[in-house]
Amino acid sequence: MSILHRLLLFLRFGSLLAASSDESLVHRFNDGDDDDTPLPLVIWHGLGDAYNADGMRLVGELAEKAHPGTLVYPIRMDEYGPRDRYDSFIGNLTEHIAKACADIAAHPILSTAPAIDALGFSQGGQFLRAYVERCNKPPVRSLVTFGSQHNGIIRFGDCDTSDFICKIAMGLIHGSPWGSVQSTLVPAQYFRDPEQYEDYLKYSNFLADINNEREVKNATYKENIKKLESFVMYMFEEDEKVIPKETSWFEEVNGTEHTPLRARKLYTEDWLGLRELDRKGGLKFRTAPGAHMAISDELLMEVFDSFFGPLNRQRGRSEPRPGLGGDDEL
């Protein structure tokens, strides 16, 4: 890859381009039904990661390889990488989601696109779903999540030995999940233990709201989820970091009892629009081999090819390639 091409990739990857470039891309989006410009792709990283980490840059390069010309925007809470990583542990998710909404709406290219695609890694997946439900301007066409905690966590797996921020955060959750941590500690805001369900409904700052679990439902959340073309949820087959791993598919796990999404009231009463999305073929359950966030380039390219790209492309294949896993008939 030439130095010039690498520089162009860097500029596309989350930078604000010059006004002349903005106008050029806006005109391309408005050229008509034959426009082959790929929709912008927004990515939200997971716990303990940063928007400008090497892995995130590699994902951006793969998106560019799959659909040349893709503008990739990694969501961040701070331009300084170490601070962005810190903010993945510490902060109020209501404020985080509001900032992401405001940043996307103010971006000179994202704000003029007819739609965007969204890719969420781990906790970034439910955060992007919150963007769809609460903002969705510009609207998301396809939302793909990997190992996300859509139905919350009972606990996280062990932190790395040297990751003291993670250890402190997990200790606080285990100590008192319903106190001040609900506005300061990120993982606590998607903690959901079925044995503490009433406390969860009363005190949860984030997940109980975006899952529309409280008595008064937010109709906008349902309407926005229904508008998605595709909502693709990947669960890692050997995930030991997210507990329970089935949360990636909205599955309810209470001890040894498992209730799949389609048997839950959240689905049967359609609190979020997932049932209607499912009936039109837009809700997809997929598995990924390996441990949490062990994603191969091949699998990412399959996702980019099937669900992202130009606005007026043919809808992605409904079945994954052999060997990559997946089962939409659950």
CA distances from 170 to 152, 162, 190 (A): 14, 14, 13
CA–CA gap between residue 103 and residue 99 (Å, rounded): 6
Whether 209 sits among the annotated catalytic residues: the reply is: no
Q: Which domains does the chain have, with CATH numbers?
A: 3-307 (3.40.50.1820)
Do residues 92 and 188 touch, judged by C-beta distance below 8 A? no
The C-alpha atoms of residue 290 and residue 292 are separated, in whole angstroms, by: 7
Q: Which of 239, 270, 278, 306 is catalytic?
A: 239
Which of 45, 67, 122, 270 is catalytic? The answer is 122
Q: What is the mean pLDDT of the chain?
A: 87
- The catalytic position among 150, 270, 292, 306 is 292
Q: How far apart are CA 13 and CA 231, in angstroms?
A: 24
Which positions ≥6 away from 314 have C-beta within 8 Å?
none
Enclosing H/E stretch for 156: strand 155-156
Of 187, 189, 38, 15, the closest CA to residue 103 belongs to 15
For residue 114, whether the previous peptide bond is cis, meaning omega lies within 30 degrees of 0, is no
Catalytic annotation present for 239: yes
The tens digit of pLDDT for each residue in 179-237 reads 999 999 999 999 999 999 999 999 999 999 999 999 999 999 999 999 999 999 999 99
pTM for the full model?
0.85
In terms of DSSP H, where are the helices of the chain?
3-12, 19-29, 54-66, 81-87, 93-106, 123-134, 164-175, 197-203, 207-210, 219-226, 265-268, 274-279, 297-307
* In contact, 46 and 145? CB cutoff 8 Å: no
Cis, bond preceding 138 (omega within 30 deg of 0): yes
Could you give the CA distance from residue 219 to residue 235 in angstroms, rounded to a whole number?
28
Amino acid letter for position 86: Y
Residue 330: alpha-carbon gap to chain centroid: 22
- Tens-of-pLDDT digits for all 330 residues of the chain? 443 344 344 334 444 333 333 444 444 455 555 578 999 999 999 999 999 999 999 999 999 999 999 999 999 999 999 999 999 999 999 999 999 999 999 999 999 999 999 999 999 999 999 999 999 999 999 999 999 999 999 976 677 777 777 777 777 766 678 999 999 999 999 999 999 999 999 999 999 999 999 999 999 999 999 999 999 999 999 999 999 999 999 999 998 899 999 999 999 999 999 999 999 999 999 999 999 999 999 999 999 999 999 998 755 444 443 334 455 545
Is 292 annotated as catalytic? yes
Q: Tens digits of per-residue pLDDT, 42-78?
A: 999 999 999 999 999 999 999 999 999 999 999 999 9
